[in-house]
A and B are shown apart, each in its own frame.
Chain A
Amino acid sequence: MGTIELKNVKKSFGTTDVIKDVSLIAEEGEFVVFVGPSGCGKSTLLRLISGLEETDDGTIHIDGEDVTKLDPYDRNLSMVFQSYALYPHMSVYENIAFALRTARVPKPEIDRKVREAAETLKLTSYLDRKPKDLSGGQRQRVAIGRAIVREPKGFLFDEPLSNLDAALRTQTRIEIAKLHKQLGSTMIYVTHDQIEAMTLADKIVVLKDGQVMQIGSPKELYARPNSTFVAQFIGSPKMNLLPNGSYDGQAMQFNKNVKITVGSVQGKPTVLGVRPEDITLCDPEASELRAKVAIYEFHGADNNVFVDVPGLGNLNIRADGKLDLKDGQSVGLKVDTSQIHYFDDSGARV
């Protein structure tokens, strides 16, 4: 139970089209992540699924049933809000029990379910506390507890980690992943953080300006982005894009001095994309691409190196952390041609 399907969903606020004809499906038990830059409509899409916003057009189906016109509660979905949205005047116990009480579940059953949820989320010793007496991470767990206690068909998470500090974010992310495995429910998760998206998702939906740019598994999106937007959005550090190239059947020529031999490629690419880990530093004499180290950031296991290629601009390279580099040092670049991505002028994959 828990397939969520959107068919040609549209939404506008005033004259602004926030969601433009979105269709997608979250299969039962799947962890789907909506990712995209601010203002891309990902939260609005989640709110449309939850029922907190009404769709202008299109339909939403849960387990085959059309829920487009149903109230939020009747869709049998739970939501975890970015701001937690805990009821401040209620204890942790009452917060978790609230949905069951509104549904007039018998008291002993409420008690059992609340304690089970608290056990799962390690909240048992905090049940009598008020939200103001909890840390950020504990509050987030209460919000999740409130969601799981109803045993819904699916969970909706609206940027649930954005208010936590970096260490807690990683920890809670792992807890959410565990929870998904444990419950096996369908989860839809909104984030602007592509690392969260990559680590949690079975399926990522990349959104831009209210439109779906690409849907696929994290690996698919990383390996075969269908546009320059997805290519740059997924992956950290982001993919290098070399624009304004011309392909002559063997090599991509960017200007008189810069030429990258790529072999045989279908179509007529003009933009070449290469991920930072697919460029290696080598002896300048042994390479057709020469550059100077502009900035390098030491990350420990690796270096994040920005090199300046004359006539081409900056490229970002992931290099071995043991490599000792100096600013301004001349280096040669070797591009792994089997890993190059090709795009046309419109940004679409060739």
Chain B
Amino acid sequence: MKNRKSNIFRWVVFIIVAFIINFPVISTISASLKSAAEISRSPGLFVSEPTLQNFAVILEVTERLNIFAYLQNSLMASLIGSILPIMLCFPLSYAVARRGYGTNVIFPTVVNLRAMPLIIFAIPLYMMYQTLGLLDTPLGLGLVLAVVNLPLALLLLVNAINDVPYELDEAARMDGARIFTILIKIVFPICLPALATVFIFSFITAWNEFLFGLMLTTTKAVPMTVGASFFFSSGGGGVQWGVAAAVIVVASLPPVVLGILMYKHISRSMTAGAVKG
């Protein structure tokens, strides 16, 4: 009896906390399903006359607003911003973890880049990009997002490679594998969970990035985060809360779906059975 009571109490607490934490999400979804009239009449969470009108508005391609282009730009920039750090950091992490290269200077310096306010890079980057013709291109935005994601990727991958037993490298060397084969056929598959983690975190960071998107793009390469803000007052005459909420919901979907799909790969251990009992 006592057990059941405490169980109910636990669920009540859980539901309250979950509600509080997710309140912004719930209220945004709720607002996206309301008409402008209903929002001004009853701004609460309850939706009395659900409508997809807001979604229809944002999905409509106009000369000024094109959500599909923003999604595509974000996708391109985010993929560059999450795959490039992996490609750069994986071999680098091997060198750091196995050979100790750069452990004293490069590794801490790169990892500490993360601590710097990104705005520091803004002006020099803008000038460089102007010269290189990278302004307002998904590649340009992707490259800077790759720099943003590099420290975390390096940190996670160095730790992941440190966890791979060194005997596996040695066994592979005895089996005739040169360093490239060891890296691709032994270490890479074992580090897949860590690589998936890096990919997800980098992709989400890149997707949600606003500052560089605002600064380095104007029309052709506008990412979703910046594009979303264009919708807020698109109709003129103040913020259209329903449309804003709908565009936020759509903008949030890709990273959320990615997270759900790849979550199970994050914490899985690959080294079971490699060494010892």
Q: Which residues of A contact B (CB under 8 A)?
A: 50-52, 71-73, 77-79, 81-89, 98-99, 102-103, 130-134, 136, 139, 146, 150, 163
**Residues 165-209 of chain B: 1 if any A CB is under 8 Å from the residue's CB, otherwise 0?**
101101111111100010001100110100000000000000000
Interface-centre pick from A50, A78, A89 (highest chain B CB count, 10 A):
A89
- CB pair B270–A89 under 8 Å, yes or no, is yes
B275 part of interface (Cβ distance < 8 Å): yes
Q: Which residues of A contact B273 (CB under 8 A)?
A: 86, 88, 130-134, 139
- List the B side residues contacting A72 at CB < 8 Å: 170, 173-174
What residues on B are CB-neighbors of A146 within 8 Å? 171, 175
Beta-carbon contacts under 8 Å, B122-179 to A: 165, 167-168, 170-177
Q: Knowing A85-B274, A131-B273, say if A71 contacts B189 (CB, 8 Å).
A: no
CA distance A134 to B185 in the complex (A): 22
Q: Which of these, B172, B181, B272, B277, contacts A88 with CB under 8 Å?
A: B272
Q: Indicate with 1 or 0, residue by residue over B235-277, a CB within 8 angstroms of chain A CB atoms.
A: 0000000000000000000000000000000000011111111
Contact A85 B175 (CB under 8 A): no
- Can you list 22 contacts pairing A with B, beta carbon distance less than 8 Å? A52-B170, A72-B173, A79-B170, A83-B167, A83-B274, A84-B276, A85-B165, A85-B167, A85-B274, A86-B171, A87-B168, A87-B171, A87-B274, A88-B273, A88-B274, A102-B175, A130-B273, A132-B273, A133-B273, A139-B277, A150-B175, A163-B276
Contact B175 A71 (CB under 8 A): no
The one of B165, B175, B185, B274 in contact with A73, judged by C-beta atoms closer than 8 angstroms, is B175
**Residues of A close to B170: CB separation below 8 A:** 52, 72, 79, 81, 85
CA distance A71 to B176 in the complex (A): 9
Cβ B168 vs Cβ A85 within 8 A? yes
When A88-B271, A139-B273 are in contact, do A103 and B176 touch as well, CB less than 8 Å?
yes
The answer to whether A50 touches B175 (Cβ under 8 A) is no
Pick from A81, A134, A163: contact of B171, CB below 8 A: A81
- Alpha-carbon separation in the docked complex, A79 to B170 (Å): 9
Among all A-B residue pairs, the 5 with the closest Cβ atoms: A132-B273, A131-B273, A83-B275, A73-B176, A99-B175
Q: Are B173 and A52 in contact (CB under 8 A)?
A: yes
- B-chain residues with CB within 8 Å of residue A139 when the two chains form the complex: 273, 277
- B-chain residues with CB within 8 Å of residue A150 when the two chains form the complex: 175
Q: Which residues of A contact B176 (CB under 8 A)?
A: 73, 99, 102-103
Nearest CB in chain B: distance from A140 CB, A: 10
A71 touches B186 (CB 8 A): no
| Interchain nearest-CB distance for A85 vs B (Å) | 4
The B5-49 residues at the A interface (CB cut-off 8 A) are none
Q: What's the Cα separation between A99 and B181 when bound, in Å? A: 11
Interface centre among B175, B189, B274 (most CB of A within 10 A): B175
Q: Which residue of B lies closest to A76 (CB)?
A: B176
Q: With CB as the reference atom, state the residue of chain B lying closest to A94.
A: B185
Residues of chain B with a CB closer than 8 A to A78's CB: 174
For B271, what are the chain A residues with a Cβ–Cβ distance below 8 Å? 88
Chain B residues with CB under 8 A of A51: 173
Is there contact, CB below 8 Å, between B189 and A89? Answer: yes
- In the complex, the answer to whether B270 meets A85 with C-beta atoms within 8 Å is no
State the CA gap A71–B182 with chains docked (Å): 14
Pick from A83, A98, A132, A163: contact of B175, CB below 8 A: A98
Q: Report Cα–Cα, A86/B185, bound state, in Å.
A: 13
Q: How far is the CB of A169 from chain B (nearest CB, A)?
A: 12
- B272 A132 Cβ-Cβ under 8 A: yes
Please give me the residue from chain B that is nearest to A150 by CB atom.
B175
The residues of B that contact A163 with a CB separation of less than 8 Å are 276-277
